[in-house]
Amino acid sequence: MRRLGLILGVVAVGLAIGGYVFFNGERKVPVRYRSAMVERGSVVSVVTATGTINPVVSVQVGTQVSGMIKSLHADFNSVVKAGDIVATIDPEPFKARRNQAASNLEMAKANVARARTEQAQRKRELDRAKSLVAQQFVSQNDVDVAITNAQGADAQVNVAMAQVKQAEAALNAADLDLKYATIRSPVNGIVVARNIEVGQTVAASFATPNLFLIALDLTKMQVDTNVSESDIGGITEGKDATFTVDAYPGVPFAGTIRQVRLAPINVQNVVTYNVVVGVDNKDLRLKPGMTANVSIVVAQRDNVLKVPNAALRFMPPKSDQGESRRAEGRPAKREGSGRAIPAGNGGPPARLIWKQGENGELASVAVQTGISDGSSTEIVSDAVAESDQVIVGVEQPHGAKKGGDLPPGFGSSGGQRRSRDRGI
């Protein structure tokens, strides 16, 4: 009897626990979806890039001779004109070389005069020998020697004249070196950089040293930006662009794309292209070297249907998606809404968005999309109409742990943020 009573007691306790769990246990909470309305408005596709503000034309001023800087006549921000003296190199060594070259020229000219005198003497001897050989006062050998001496005198005159030309060339080179000791500005502009000091020795033996950097016109500037290869397709010359600089927060500057350079820039297997944006700088607020945050309008659509990008990223839970597919007579298969579906008419690929029927079941709708501005996407098909409600997410139950409370790398919020950063 004691054993029977123990067994009945255990069975009663088990039934009590099972009944409590059955009637008071945790039940599945129905899924509630967040929806958004299909609206009509404008969609602007913008490409952003970072660039540097530079003068349109800048000239590096160097020197063609080596020596010590004797004086400076231009400094930072100096306004110079073409031909103005900006610096001078000590001219004394060049003056000495010029004087030596002038002396060599005078000596060469004197050698020409002496050679001509010798030439005249040899010619007279030849004429005398020719007249005497006819009277048989001299032999034919004496005539031949006179002819040889006359020809040698003529050659000596030619050598002396060549030495004169060589001396003249050396004098011209010395004059040029003396002239190059005075460094002048080649253009009208503003001195942006000065890289020398008085007393510094510059050497122009192997490469021309960079002494000054002169900007031709700071009222016309350009922004050199690097645009990735995925965004370069919609950028053409003549498109409008806006940019901001840190020096003037919140102040937009307008520009126009002046050039899309074809040379690729490959940095760590990332290919970009240099896009040059021209901008007016009449007030000289923009300085060379400033960092610009550029926004280029690639495409714009007005008065079009648009849906939030979250609707294109939304993917229903597996159970609800299977039920919706069974309700439509299709096999349950998990299909991501972000995957492109080829269009049957050869047009752009379709994307899936989801709507909720009156009975709460989900129904997928294939739509063709256009441009995107990062938050909304243009709908170019007639699958949805204005004011339709589309699902953009799942509401979190009260007290449920959100994805932001999970450790990094867990939950779906991080993936959604990464997708949002990529556009869709």
DSSP result, 324-360: HHHHTTS------TTS-B--TTSSSPEEEEEEE-TTS
CA 14 vs CA 18, 21, 105, 283, 335: distances in Å: 6, 11, 128, 88, 44
262 pLDDT more than 90: yes
Question: Residue 108, SS3?
Answer: helix
| Core vs surface per residue 22-31: b (16+ CB within 10 A) or e | eeeeeeeeee
Give me the percent of the chain exceeding a pLDDT of 70. 80
pLDDT of 339: 52
Residue with the two structure tokens 């709507």: 355
pLDDT of 188: 92
Residues 6 or more apart in contact with residue 291 via CB below 8 angstroms = 50, 51, 52, 53, 245, 246
Backbone φ and ψ for 306, nearest 5 degrees, come out as: -145, 150
Determine contact, residues 305/378, Cβ cutoff 8 Å: yes
Question: Residue 91, SS3?
Answer: coil
How far is it, in rounded angstroms, from Cα 241 to Cα 253? 8
Average pLDDT over residues 313-329: 61
Bigger pLDDT: 20 vs 284: 284
Determine contact, residues 222/48, Cβ cutoff 8 Å: no
Residue with the two structure tokens 């020096």: 247
pLDDT of 329: 43
How far is it, in rounded angstroms, from Cα 302 to Cα 291? 32
Written as six digits, the tokens of 307 are: 């849906």
pLDDT of 420: 42
How far is it, in rounded angstroms, from Cα 324 to Cα 199? 86
Q: Which CATH number fits domain 60-89+184-216: 3.30.930.10, 3.20.20.70, 1.25.50.10, 2.40.50.100?
A: 2.40.50.100
**This model's pTM is above 0.75:** no
Residues 6 or more apart in contact with residue 345 via CB below 8 angstroms = none
Strand order across the 79-80 sheet: 58-61, 212-215, 189-194, 79-80
282 pLDDT more than 70: yes
pLDDT of 334: 41
Ranges 220-224, 269-273, 319-323: which has the least confidence = 319-323
pLDDT of 393: 87
Delimit the domains of the chain by residue range: 33-43+304-421, 47-56+219-301, 60-89+184-216, 91-180
165 pLDDT more than 80: yes
**Domain 33-43+304-421 belongs to what architecture?**
Beta Barrel (2.40)
Question: How confident is residue 343, by pLDDT bands cut at 50, 70 and 90?
Answer: low
73 pLDDT more than 80: yes
Q: Average model confidence (pLDDT) for the chain?
A: 83
How far is it, in rounded angstroms, from Cα 163 to Cα 158? 9
**Chain centroid to CA 420:** 26
266 pLDDT more than 50: yes
295 pLDDT more than 90: yes
Task: Give bridge partners of residue 296 from the DSSP assignment.
Answer: 47, 241
**Domain 47-56+219-301 belongs to what architecture?**
Beta Barrel (2.40)
How far is it, in rounded angstroms, from Cα 375 to Cα 416? 13
pLDDT of 102: 95
